[in-house]
Amino acid sequence: MDFSLTEDQKMLRAMVRDFAEKELEPIAAEIDEEARFPAESVQKAAELGLTGIGYPEEYGGSGGGTVEQAIVFEELARACAATSVIFVATNELAAYPLYAYGTEEQKQQYLVPLLKGDKLGAFGLTEAGAGSDVAAMAMTAARQDNGYILNGNKIFISNGAEADIIITFATVDRSQGYRGVTAFIVEKATPGFSVGKHERKMGIRAASATELVFEDCLVPVENRLGDEGRGFRIALETIDASRLGVAAQSLGIAQAAFEKSLSYSRERQQFGQSIASFQAIQWMLADMATQIDAARLLTHRAAFLKDQGLPFIKESSMAKLYAAETAMFVTTKAVQIHGGYGYTKDFAVERYFRDAKIMEIYEGTSEMQRMTIARQLLRDD
């Protein structure tokens, strides 16, 4: 069994880490405080090909697979979790369903600019009454001769304020439950579409999370993604894939918090010695490092399985669950190690702590991951 990265993967990690440390980390606290979208940094990252990681060059991608995506998203999140979220929303949530289910015309028109970084994407699924329960969707799509009339609202949509291309979902028949859910491609300039409330979030504040409003929004038939009634499957398959992006983000946050804690514990003096010499601190650091390593192995294993075309749903849920909870554990310990300083905005660990919490919630809560894992275990038996 070989747990090492290839030379190309190591070079990719080094390149992204260098970029993130120089371009993202220095402004991470500032854009968090101002809740400001880092447009210039996103453009620079796109020029490096990071928006297209994991997709073939024929569609504007940069090549590589899911392991490479995990490497990129971890390194971005290590410097700035919000920037990593922006990229996952475009690269996985918007691009994946287009790549997997789009027609050739849809791929050329919408997927290519997403992967090249010319446009940003979003994934409009969550509603006020339909979070984990996607089948409870209330947004409707009424068929017309020339397309579909969309009516309804989506909430908590990452990149909602900036996205040029939105993959969204509506039901053509609520009586059919999940069988009525259908996927659509909506351009930002489409009449009847608008951005509603901007959420004021605890963490990842530089990445927007907004309401999307559809009021008699006419979407042409050619912008339906897949067949009618296939939207539920498209949504779940996309989320299955994107869980690994969240796992990688969680790793990046945890790794950053651990590194800051390790450094601080060596420098901070109490009772005439560094706090790193105290067993209580050593045990915290040992637990932090162990959980991060285990989470990374789970994440890379699931990414490897996906790249090999093997079943990976159980493994991706395990990775997302464990990595997210590891991020919360590690950042909590990081604040504790920093003591009173860790509770101030002068030290990055308080931002890591705030950023980590959402990892246990979006792309399927920890509770939903446990349900998925259990379901897969029982099915395997």
3-state secondary structure of 230: coil
What is the pLDDT, as a whole number, of residue 162?
Answer: 96
Pairwise CA distance, residues 185 & 130, whole Å: 20
> Total domain count for the chain?
3
What is the pLDDT, as a whole number, of residue 201?
Answer: 96
Same domain, 208 and 294: no
Domain-ending residue, one of 74, 97, 120: 120
What is the pLDDT, as a whole number, of residue 131?
Answer: 78
Domain-ending residue, one of 120, 153, 169: 120
Q: Which of 187, 237, 363, 367 is catalytic?
A: 363
Same domain, 96 and 196: no
- What are the beta bridge partners of residue 182? 170
Same domain, 320 and 182: no
Between CA 275 and CA 281, with CA 279 as vertex, the angle to 5 degrees is 50
Residue found by looking up tokens 């620079």 in the block = 44
What is the pLDDT, as a whole number, of residue 380?
Answer: 62
Same domain, 114 and 212: no
Same domain, 220 and 296: no
User: 195 lies in a domain?
Assistant: yes
Residue found by looking up tokens 């909506």 in the block = 186
Split the chain (381 residues) into runs of 10 and give each run's mean pLDDT.
88 97 97 96 94 95 96 98 96 96 97 96 93 86 94 96 97 91 97 97 97 97 96 94 95 98 96 96 98 98 96 96 98 98 96 98 93 90 56
Residue 137, token pair as written in the block: 């969707």
Same domain, 146 and 268: no
Q: If you count them, how many residues does the chain have?
A: 381
Residue 38's domain spans which residues?
7-120
- The separation between CA 349 and the C-alpha centre of its own chain, rounded to angstroms, equals 20
User: 1 lies in a domain?
Assistant: no
H or E stretch including 219?
A: strand 209-220
Same domain, 237 and 218: no
Q: Which of 189, 137, 144 has its CA nearest to residue 168?
A: 137
CATH code, domain carrying 132:
2.40.110.10
Q: Is 350 one of the catalytic residues?
A: no
CATH code, domain carrying 59:
1.10.540.10
Pairwise CA distance, residues 189 & 378, whole Å: 46
Pairwise CA distance, residues 377 & 135, whole Å: 23
Q: Which of 114, 119, 107, 115 has its CA nearest to residue 53?
A: 115
Domain-ending residue, one of 55, 85, 120: 120
What is the pLDDT, as a whole number, of residue 381?
Answer: 56
User: 2 lies in a domain?
Assistant: no
3-state secondary structure of 206: coil
Residue 2: CB atoms within 10 A of its CB come to: 5
Residue 254, token pair as written in the block: 């945890």
What is the pTM for the complete model shown? 0.95
Interhelix angle 39-47/81-88, rounded to 10 degrees, is 60
